[in-house]
Structure formats: structure tokens, C-alpha cells
């Protein structure tokens, strides 16, 4: 039945209808709610008598472009490693990201920059939206090859909402006292994922009460990596396929697909310093965060090569490790790179993350499937899950060591509540730890109950066990060589077997 005409007809309509519906609904919500903020709208800006050179655009947009390259080039090509799933890997990443950035502009906007009935957008909403997209793509990495595009869109629909709520809880609800508005100015960036709110609050828009972040997580070790990874892993558990070995022969890479994946790896690696620093405080805040991330990534690269050769058959390196674990250094300093981590601390953290991640690929991924029934296609548990949790714990440690001496005036930027005397460093550390716990809850329950049940809706198009990791299910695929007119339709044969 699976390969029957009725199924094909269903498939023909499911993806386009969902795309059209989601885009239509988003557009209507944009029309009603979304407006330029005062840094984007000339009429509002000039009322404030600011110089054009002070526009936050110039301090954030170059970082945004790097983040944008990571999301679309980095994630897109990193997932091309599968031998017959390249079109889907880069194509569905593209589709998911294009939808999720719009949807998260709305969700984050409602939660964080909703004033007088409108969401106000600017360069920081673009960065925040791309960050949320990052989490969605991390989750999709666990499902890669085993879900159709309509399923992935539904996952994004739910995940973006949960991402926004989790972030809101961490930043605003894990504490009590509400804080007054802050002055606006080039020097007044807030160094946290939602600073557009604070920025907007004190400028030309009607002031409303804003709170400093209760938990710090500038580069998203918790909110992006841990959340995205465990959301995807729990979802993958719910969608467990006991018969997946029917597609085993397509689960590996071929020579050139590994080279394409390295394009993704390298772009993620080089731009990660911009990712972690994109929304930290202007000036020394961005400067230090970028520097820490740069060192951490270098160290994780060396430990990945070391461990990969050490555990590899015959001492040979494994491309999967290099493509992924070398990036763990960026994940592990996501929380702490804006803090006084020190260059040595960055190296040590990166080294640890590369080690844990490589060992995870070698030893834990097989157990994850056999014992925990989690089929983690691209190993997000190793690249984002464990390093994300480690990064959150590192944040606990570094926050607990914060002193006035070490941070100077910077303490007010990174830990305003400590600077104001409302919290001790130890208490901040406890809040950070609680933030990790909350994130794991949201990710697991959301991924499991919500998304899991949603994606199992029986009418949703999902590839057969024998058709996983195969582009032809969703794409018109040309032959591999010039002489083949078209790759033979092996999928259809598989269909009839099923």
C-alpha cells in the first residue's frame, strides 16, 4: 500500500499545503504584530537624535552574517555526509530554517519585545531568530533521514514555542525582583540573547519594566545546544524504528559526501566565535567572548585528532569525529565564554569537550541505539548534548567564582544581580544549575510528549524503514554519472517489498 498511487497523491499535497498554510499564517501575524524597532525605523530613530554611526546595526550585523552562514552553510552541509541524502540534508535544513526564523521572530517577539501591541524587530531579532533555528536544526540532526519534511516542519512549529518559553523562564522567571529600565546607548548592550528588549525599553519606545537575566547563557550551551539536542533525542526515541537496519547500507558516507560535510564543519568552526559573541555586551564583552571561543575550538580540535587516532582501528582517524567533535569546543564555552573564563580555562574546556565528544561517537552512540533505543543519525548527543551539559556546568563553576576584582565594571554587564548586591556568586551558580535542570525538563517533556505524539500522527508522510536516508523519496534525483539518465528507482522496488 505504501507505494500506491493514493500515498503518492497524499505526499504530493502534504508538504505544499503545510508550507502554504504556515507561510500564510505567519504573514498574517506579521501584518498584525510586527513593526520595525527604533533602530530600524528612520522616523523613530531620528526622534532620538542619534548619530547613524551609533546604530546597533554596525556592532551586531557582521556577527549576524557569521551566524547566518553557520546556520545555512554550516548545518546544511555538515549533514550532507550521508551518501544518498545530500539533497534532503541541505534542502530540508534550508526549508526548516526559513520557516523557523519567521516563526521564532513571532514567538520570541511576543515573549520578549512586545510593546503597545506590537513586536519590534531589528538586527537582534534576526540573531535571536537564527539562534532558535540553530536549536531546531540540532534536533533535526537526530532525526535526519527518518522523517519527512512535513514532520520536520511540525517539529519546528512546536519546538520554536518551547524554545522561546524555556529561554524566557531562564532569563526572567528564575528570580523575583523586577528591575528598572536601562539607558540606551552604544555602550548599553545587555550581553544576553534578548537585549533588544532592554535596548528598546529605554529608548524611544514606551518604557516598561524589564528585568536583568536571571541565568546567563550568551552562546546558548543550555538554551540552544542542550535544549536542541535532548529535544531531538527524546523525539528520536519516540520515533524509534526497530527495522531500521533495512536502510543500513545507506547510513554511511562516501568519499565525496565526507568532503562536502567538511565544508559545513569548517564554516561552523571558523564562525563560532561570532556565534557566542553575537549578543554579548558591546566592547570588551564581545571581544573576550570571541577570543575565548577561538581558543576553546583550537583545543577541541587537537583532542579530537588525538582521541580519534587513539581509538581508531589501526590508529586511523575517523572523519565522523573530525567533522563533529572538533566543534565541541564551541558548544562547551557557550555559557562561560562571556565570563572571566581566562584563556587557559578556554583551552581546558575545549580539550575536555573534544575528548568527551570523540569518545561519545566511538563508545556511546552504539549503546544509545542498542540500550536506549535512540537512533541519533548525526550524533547530536556527542556534539551538542554532552558538551552542552558540560558547558552549563562550566557556567555554574565560573559564575560561582565571580568577584568584583576579576570583573571590574564588567560585573554589572555580566552579572548585574551580583554587582547590585542582590545575589552572591554562589547563589548565581545555583541559579545557573537550576537553569540547566529546567532546560532538560522542557526539552525532554516537549520532545517526548508534544513533538513525539504530533509527529506520529498516522496520516503524516514518513519514509518506510527501507527508504530511510534516501533522497528519492522526496526529490527528483539525477544519476550519479553523466551516462545515467536517471538513478534507477530503487525506492519503488523497496516499496513493494514493504
DSSP 8-state code for residue 394: H
Contacting a copy of itself within 256-315 (CB under 8 A): 256, 258-260, 262-263, 266-267, 269-271, 273-274, 281-288, 290-291, 294-295, 297-299, 301-303, 305-307, 309-310, 312-315
Burial class (CB in 10 A: 0-12, 13-18, 19+), 494: buried
Contacting a copy of itself within 111-170 (CB under 8 A): 121-123, 126, 149
23 binds a copy of itself (CB under 8 A): yes
Helix 343-359 / helix 386-400 crossing angle, nearest 10 deg: 150
Cell of 329: 569546543
361 binds a copy of itself (CB under 8 A): no
Least spacing, CB of residue 61 vs a copy of itself, in Å: 7
Q: What contacts 466, CB < 8 A, 6 or more positions away?
A: 243, 246, 247, 494, 495, 497, 498
Binds a copy of itself (CB under 8 A): choice among 83, 195, 247, 428:
83
Contacting a copy of itself within 311-350 (CB under 8 A): 312-319, 322, 326, 342-344, 347-348
Binds a copy of itself (CB under 8 A): choice among 78, 79, 99, 196:
99
| Nearest alpha carbon to residue 157 among 67, 23, 14 | 23
Nearer to a copy of itself, 68 or 216 (CB): 68
79 binds a copy of itself (CB under 8 A): no
Determine the Cα–Cα distance for residues 168 and 438; give it in Å rounded to an integer: 11
Cell of 216: 546567563
| Nearest alpha carbon to residue 491 among 465, 460, 458, 459 | 465
CA distances in angstroms from 363 to 239, 307, 358, 359, 366, listed in the order given? 23, 12, 9, 6, 6
Nearer to a copy of itself, 113 or 236 (CB): 113
DSSP string, 10-35: HHHHHHHHHHHHHHHHHHHHHHHHEE
| Length of the chain in terms of residues written | 498
460 binds a copy of itself (CB under 8 A): no
Nearer to a copy of itself, 284 or 444 (CB): 284
Determine the Cα–Cα distance for residues 357 and 366; give it in Å rounded to an integer: 14
Size of the site for a copy of itself (CB under 8 A): 146
| Nearest alpha carbon to residue 252 among 428, 395, 377, 380 | 377
Binding mask 429-458 for a copy of itself (x = CB under 8 A): ------------------------------
Nearer to a copy of itself, 192 or 303 (CB): 303
Q: Which stretch binds a copy of itself (CB under 8 A): 93-101, 208-216, 373-381, 439-447?
A: 93-101
Nearer to a copy of itself, 42 or 453 (CB): 42
Asked if residue 38 lies in contact with residue 48, where contact means CB atoms within 8 angstroms, the answer is: yes
475 binds a copy of itself (CB under 8 A): yes
Nearer to a copy of itself, 174 or 498 (CB): 498
Determine the Cα–Cα distance for residues 330 and 137; give it in Å rounded to an integer: 16
Burial class (CB in 10 A: 0-12, 13-18, 19+), 422: middle
Contacting a copy of itself within 391-420 (CB under 8 A): 405-411, 413-414
Asked if residue 164 lies in contact with residue 442, where contact means CB atoms within 8 angstroms, the answer is: no
Binds a copy of itself (CB under 8 A): choice among 2, 25, 36, 165:
36
Least spacing, CB of residue 448 vs a copy of itself, in Å: 28
Binds a copy of itself (CB under 8 A): choice among 2, 25, 40, 422:
40
Determine the Cα–Cα distance for residues 133 and 126; give it in Å rounded to an integer: 10
Least spacing, CB of residue 425 vs a copy of itself, in Å: 16
Binds a copy of itself (CB under 8 A): choice among 1, 43, 176, 209:
43
Binds a copy of itself (CB under 8 A): choice among 25, 41, 114, 246:
41
Nearer to a copy of itself, 53 or 209 (CB): 53
Least spacing, CB of residue 153 vs a copy of itself, in Å: 9
Nearer to a copy of itself, 376 or 461 (CB): 461
Q: Indicate the SS3 state at residue 175.
A: coil
Asked if residue 435 lies in contact with residue 334, where contact means CB atoms within 8 angstroms, the answer is: no
Contacting a copy of itself within 195-254 (CB under 8 A): 249-250, 252-254
Helix 149-168 / helix 227-238 crossing angle, nearest 10 deg: 140
Q: Indicate the SS3 state at residue 313.
A: helix
Q: Which stretch binds a copy of itself (CB under 8 A): 74-82, 192-200, 371-379, 385-393?
A: 74-82
Determine the Cα–Cα distance for residues 279 and 223; give it in Å rounded to an integer: 14
Nearer to a copy of itself, 122 or 435 (CB): 122
Binds a copy of itself (CB under 8 A): choice among 229, 474, 494, 495:
474
Q: What contacts 360, CB < 8 A, 6 or more positions away?
A: 325, 379, 381, 382, 386
Least spacing, CB of residue 268 vs a copy of itself, in Å: 11
Least spacing, CB of residue 109 vs a copy of itself, in Å: 10
Determine the Cα–Cα distance for residues 15 and 12; give it in Å rounded to an integer: 7
Binding mask 170-189 for a copy of itself (x = CB under 8 A): ----------------xx-x
Amino acid at each position: 500500500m505504501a507505494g500506491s498511487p493514493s500515498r503518492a497523491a497524499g505526499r504530493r499535497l502534504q508538504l505544499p499545503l503545510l508550507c502554504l498554510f504556515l507561510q500564510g499564517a505567519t504573514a498574517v501575524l506579521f501584518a498584525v504584530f510586527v513593526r520595525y524597532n527604533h533602530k530600524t525605523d528612520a522616523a523613530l530613530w531620528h526622534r532620538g537624535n542619534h548619530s547613524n554611526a551609533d546604530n546597533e546595526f554596525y556592532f551586531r550585523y557582521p556577527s549576524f552574517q557569521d551566524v547566518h552562514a553557520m546556520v545555512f552553510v554550516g548545518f546544511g552541509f555538515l549533514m550532507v555526509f550521508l551518501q544518498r541524502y545530500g539533497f534532503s540534508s541541505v534542502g530540508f535544513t534550508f526549508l526548516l530554517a526559513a520557516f523557523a526564523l519567521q516563526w521564532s521572530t513571532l514567538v520570541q517577539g511576543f515573549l520578549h519585545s512586545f510593546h503597545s501591541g506590537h513586536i519590534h524587530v531589528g538586527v537582534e531579532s534576526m540573531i535571536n531568530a537564527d539562534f532558535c533555528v540553530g536549536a531546531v536544526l540540532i534536533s533535526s540532526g537526530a532525526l535526519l533521514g527518518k522523517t519527512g519534511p512535513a514532520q520536520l516542519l511540525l517539529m519546528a512549529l512546536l519546538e520554536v514555542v518551547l524554545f522561546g518559553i524555556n529561554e524566557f523562564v531562564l532569563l526572567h522567571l528564575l528570580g523575583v525582583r523586577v528591575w528598572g529600565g536601562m539607558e540606551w546607548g552604544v555602550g548599553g548592550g545587555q550581553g544576553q540573547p534578548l537585549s533588544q528588549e532592554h535596548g528598546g525599553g529605554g529608548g524611544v519606545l514606551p518604557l516598561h519594566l524589564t528585568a536583568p537575566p536571571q541565568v546567563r547563557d550568551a552562546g546558548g550551551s543550555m538554551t540552544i545546544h542542550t535544549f536542541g539536542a535532548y529535544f531531538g533525542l527524546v523525539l528520536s526515541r519516540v520515533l524509534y524504528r526497530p527495522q531500521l537496519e533495512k536502510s543500513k547500507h545507506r547510513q554511511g558516507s562516501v568519499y565525496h559526501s565526507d568532503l562536502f560535510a567538511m565544508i559545513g564543519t569548517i564554516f561552523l568552526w571558523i564562525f563560532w566565535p561570532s556565534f557566542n559573541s553575537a549578543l554579548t555586551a558591546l566592547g570588551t564583552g564581545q571581544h573576550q567572548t570571541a577570543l575565548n571561543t577561538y581558543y576553546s575550538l583550537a583545543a577541541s580540535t587537537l583532542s579530537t585528532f588525538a582521541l580519534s587516532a587513539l581509538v581508531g582501528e589501526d590508529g586511523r582517524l575517523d572523519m565522523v569525529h573530525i567533522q563533529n567533535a572538533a566543534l565541541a569546543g564551541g558548544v562547551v564555552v557557550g555559557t562561560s565564554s562571556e565570563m572571566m573564563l581566562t584563556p587557559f580555562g578556554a583551552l581546558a574546556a575545549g580539550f575536555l569537550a573534544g575528548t568527551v565528544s570523540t569518545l561519545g561517537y566511538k563508545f556511546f552512540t552504539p549503546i544509545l541505539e542498542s540500550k536506549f533505543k535512540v537512533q541519533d543519525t548525526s550524533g547530536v548527543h556527542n556534539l551538542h548534548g554532552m558538551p552542552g551539559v558540560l558547558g552549563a556546568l562550566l557556567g555554574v563553576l565560573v559564575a560561582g567564582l565571580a568577584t568584583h576584582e576579576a570583573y571590574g565594571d564588567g560585573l554589572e554587564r555580566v552579572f548585574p544581580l551580583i554587582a547590585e548586591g542582590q545575589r552572591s556568586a554562589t547563589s548565581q551558580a545555583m541559579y545557573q544549575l537550576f537553569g540547566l535542570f529546567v532546560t532538560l525538563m522542557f526539552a525532554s517533556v516537549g520532545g517526548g510528549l508534544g513533538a513525539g505524539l504530533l509527529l506520529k500522527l498516522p496520516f503524516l508522510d514518513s519514509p518506510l524503514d527501507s527508504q530511510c536516508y534516501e533522497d528519492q523519496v522526496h526529490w527528483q534525483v539525477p544519476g550519479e554519472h553523466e551516462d545515467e539518465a536517471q538513478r534507477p528507482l530503487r525506492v519503488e522496488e523497496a516499496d513493494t517489498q514493504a
